[in-house]
Amino acid sequence: MVFSHWIGLVLFLISTLSSPVHEFYVSICYIQITPDNQIEIKQRIFRNDLELGVARDISEDRWVFQDDSASINQVMDYVIDHLSLEIDDVEVPLQAQIIEAEGEGPTETINILLAGKLSKGFENHVTIESSILLDIYDDQVNMVHVRFSDFKRKSKNLDHTEPSFTVKKEELQP
């Protein structure tokens, strides 16, 4: 009887220790285009997933996010290399603003705030491409929400089969 309890405990520990931290792979990106041609982006990624992505990008076996300038620069390089935004077929250069951690444990996220400025007004369409973590997880989904001013929001789930999408300006207006 005692032996079966030990076997059960060992099997439980093995299944717990070998399972992933979370069983879904998603990042969320909010893009706000303001009437004065400013772009504000908030990218949320699970911390452990981001660490895997950065490690692969810098060819390391393991990488751990630290609250220091070197880690922040590596995170920014990763996000900017895997997220692009074009307005009317012109790429918008993105600059890092803030990186902050939110939550704790297996569901801790890293929030990356980016900003950009349009050289001219938003006239026709916006194209977003997000390959964040697509090379890590086969079932990764990057949820993207785009909003112009305070009008309607257009959302799309991006994955391996469709890593980008285009939204026409009229789809974001009342």
Cβ–Cβ < 8 Å for 78, 71: no
pLDDT > 70 fraction of the chain, expressed in percent and rounded: 87
Whether residue 91 contacts residue 129, with contact meaning beta carbons closer than 8 Å, is answered with: no
Confidence of residue 16 (pLDDT cuts 50, 70, 90): very low
Report whether 85 contacts 92 (CB < 8 A).
yes
Q: What is the pTM of this model?
A: 0.82
The owner of tokens 């949320």 is 44
Q: Which residues of 136-150 are buried (b: 16+ CB within 10 A; e: fewer)?
A: ebeebbbebebbbee
Instruction: Please give the sequence-ordered ranges of beta strands (E in DSSP) within the chain, or none if there are none.
Output: 26-33, 38-46, 83-87, 90-91, 95-102, 109-117, 125-130, 141-148, 153-158, 164-168
- The pLDDT of residue 21: 58
Q: Using CB atoms within 10 A of its CB, is residue 112 exposed (0-12), middle (13-18) or buried (19+)?
A: buried
What is the per-residue pLDDT across 53-70, written as a single tens digit (0 to 9) for each? 999 999 888 888 887 888
Distance separating alpha carbons of residues 156 and 31, to the nearest angstrom: 12
